[in-house]
Chains A and B, each alone.
Chain A
């Protein structure tokens, strides 16, 4: 092309038309005054669908869509100033006459003196672009929704976490603040929290505890561990138990309280109470209680202790001799506890005042129906004490038939239940006690000699209290502190006068009587010291510092004449006589019998 046609007259009409058809473009020329647009060349096929007959060569602005009409009416610099540039309208959607839409775009341009308007139908290229935009936007929307739901979940979770952290922190802070010895356990029994106080009690660091299994933190003995586990598994909201022993270098005793975490039913809050000190005290108290008559450091008692230790080492029958109240049963217990049988039962039986059938059935058991009232098969005390020690108190009171049976048991090491023929093997150590002189009983014929020799293989003789007076202050103070611990009373001491009274009393009831006297005094006592007036009247009434020899030794003829004198003073009234002597009625009676006094 060497020259441009200023009139825009195509050189080859048919070529121009073919180009327009191929591009799907309508070309219109704007009139000079801008009032009309004339089609140039052949319009594309779609033209008819929007703008009517193809033969009409002028664009009917009434048939134009508002968009195109406005575009045509608006001033366009490319036309006014003939800048030689082109200006696009941007796409718009046009309705077809038969329905449906198509997207068009107009271009304003000037060529030479002519202002032209091209209207193009946006085809496949445009549709493709539109698809991309559509997909991009749809994806943005779904992503938006996903992000939002994600964010929502996140917010919810954070909220939940905050709440739970807060409540958890509150609860834990409270446990800390109140100085509670507490552990929190998760559903697997691992420790998730431990209070400072608990760490202090256990002597552990937080790292040794948090995350660990409970049994590693609290090494309970197997049996206790099962009990604790039982509490943890329990369905009740709270539970408690103990004290349980923690097997550590320094054993500790703890009581355990289990609470369910109300927010997490699978979690447990475990509160520990250190009972080590109380346990030690209680044990000391128990020990003292079960050995308390053994308190004393008089030579006589030291000899007894040694004897107990020696006797405990051999598995023979032992006879303990001593007045009432001297603590014969406690000696028996001591022998048992020091012996190899200490983990087996210790059973005490009092043989006094029982008929032979009752005593026989008690000792050896019976078969159902063997006597009236024997409604069940019943094992006897020998069987109950299997492997351990049977303490037979007041052995001197056993009726002769039972003595025979007992002798056989000691010889054969087997018992036969009443009403049964078949003997049963027993492994029991017999420790017997008496306040009689059994040798005298043998002479008198009331006790079998062979039985005496059988039971008196070893022999422990307990001195009466009056023969170890130096132990009285020790015993009195020991009872005092025991009683104060048990009753919560604070009585510190015995006044010197009180002590003097105690020292000079005859103590026919021995240590048992001393203990009752202190009990009586502690109850009566109003101040911090026990005064003579707090003591039982029979002791308090005693003139202070009488010659102790008036009562000591209280045996043989001396005692007999004392009793007789008291009886005559009391005009034969035994109760009154006992009172005058400062002994119990029972002791008084017994002594009468023992000393063969038969008051009329």
Chain B
């Protein structure tokens, strides 16, 4: 079965672990337990009748004290940039991480998601900014790990893009 390494990237507490757990085990917890290092989970998806095993690298959230270890990114076929709609600063982190990823692993497919759509009224990221991201060529999805909204779509979209993307020899 085709395996694809996918990195979950984003600032701390944006919901990377929550998205993975919702996708893989269909569970969610309001309790915050920060990820240290990396936890790897797997789940297969179907793309055009082909099974693709997604190997999801749930990497610790980046903050001002911890930069993401580039070695974690190597070998990724794609990545997911997660932002927290209620915290504008997570958008800047996502922008920086996208540059790190592009530098480290090249132009592999990626999808971005603005998480916590269940508390839309508290969002700080507004439509204008989202429009700017789309203009940069970012696929931007909205979702909620809490409600399970947009989660399947997120991974399915990336899987499709990865399958159809030309594969480059790694570094």
Contacts and interface: CB of A to CB of B under 8 A. Distances in A.
B75 A74 contact: yes
B69 interface: yes
A102 B92 CA distance: 32
Contact of A105 (B37, B39, B71, B87): B37
B42 A90 contact: no
Contacts of A136: 65
A104 to B, nearest CB: 9
Interface string A85-104: 00001111100000001010
Interface string B35-59: 1111110100000000000010100
Contact of B39 (A74, A89, A93): A93
Contact of A92 (B34, B39, B124): B39
A89 B34 contact: no
A284 interface: no
Interface string A52-96: 000000000000011100100010000000000000011111000
Interface residues on A, range: 20 to 34
Contact of B13 (A67, A89, A91, A141): A141
A91 B37 contact: yes
A111 to B, nearest CB: 22
A74 B12 contact: no
A149 to B, nearest CB: 10
Given A137-B63, A141-B13, A144-B87, A103 B36 contact: yes
Contacts of B69: 90
B97 to A, nearest CB: 16
A141 B89 CA distance: 12
Given A138-B32, A141-B32, A90 B38 contact: yes
Interface string B60-100: 01010110010110110000000000110000000000000
Contact of B38 (A93, A137, A138): A93
A90 B72 contact: yes
Interface centre among A67, A74, A103, A126 (most CB of B within 10 A): A67
Nearest to B171: A75
Nearest to B36: A130
B170 to A, nearest CB: 9
Nearest to B170: A74
B136 interface: no
A148 B63 CA distance: 19
Nearest to A65: B40
Contacts of A144: 87
Contacts of A105: 37
A133 interface: yes
Interface string A102-115: 01010000000000
B70 to A, nearest CB: 10
A67 B87 CA distance: 31
B18 to A, nearest CB: 14
A78 to B, nearest CB: 13
B103 interface: no
A137 B66 CA distance: 12
Nearest to B39: A93
A338 B76 CA distance: 114
Nearest to A71: B71
A229 interface: no
A283 interface: no
B33 interface: yes
A467 B118 CA distance: 106
A103 B37 contact: yes
A133 B32 contact: no
Contacts of A93: 35-40
A146 interface: no
Nearest to B89: A144
B40 A66 contact: yes
A134 interface: yes
A89 B63 CA distance: 20
Given A74-B74, A74-B75, A91 B36 contact: yes
A136 B36 CA distance: 13
A90 B69 CA distance: 8
A90 B12 contact: no
Contacts of B61: 137
B56 to A, nearest CB: 10
Contacts of A148: 86, 122, 124
A70 B3 CA distance: 12
Interface centre among B38, B40, B87 (most CB of A within 10 A): B40
A136 B61 CA distance: 13
B39 to A, nearest CB: 4
A382 B72 CA distance: 117
Contacts of B86: 148
A138 B31 CA distance: 11
Interface in B18-40: 32-40
A65 B41 CA distance: 10
Contacts of B5: 66, 70
Contacts of A138: 32
The 8 closest A-B pairs by CB, nearest first: A91-B37, A93-B39, A90-B69, A66-B40, A92-B38, A134-B34, A67-B40, A92-B37
Interface of B: 5, 12-13, 32-40, 42, 55, 57, 61, 63, 65-66, 69, 71-72, 74-75, 86-87, 122, 124
Interface of A: 65-67, 70, 74, 89-93, 101, 103, 105, 126, 129-130, 133-134, 136-138, 140-141, 144, 148
Given A89-B71, A93-B40, A137-B34, 19 more contacts: A66-B55, A67-B40, A67-B57, A70-B5, A70-B75, A92-B39, A92-B40, A93-B35, A93-B36, A105-B37, A129-B36, A130-B34, A130-B36, A133-B36, A133-B66, A134-B33, A134-B34, A137-B12, A148-B86
23 contacts: A65-B40, A66-B42, A67-B38, A67-B57, A70-B75, A74-B74, A89-B71, A90-B38, A91-B37, A92-B40, A93-B37, A103-B37, A130-B36, A134-B33, A134-B34, A137-B13, A137-B32, A137-B34, A140-B63, A141-B13, A141-B32, A144-B87, A148-B124
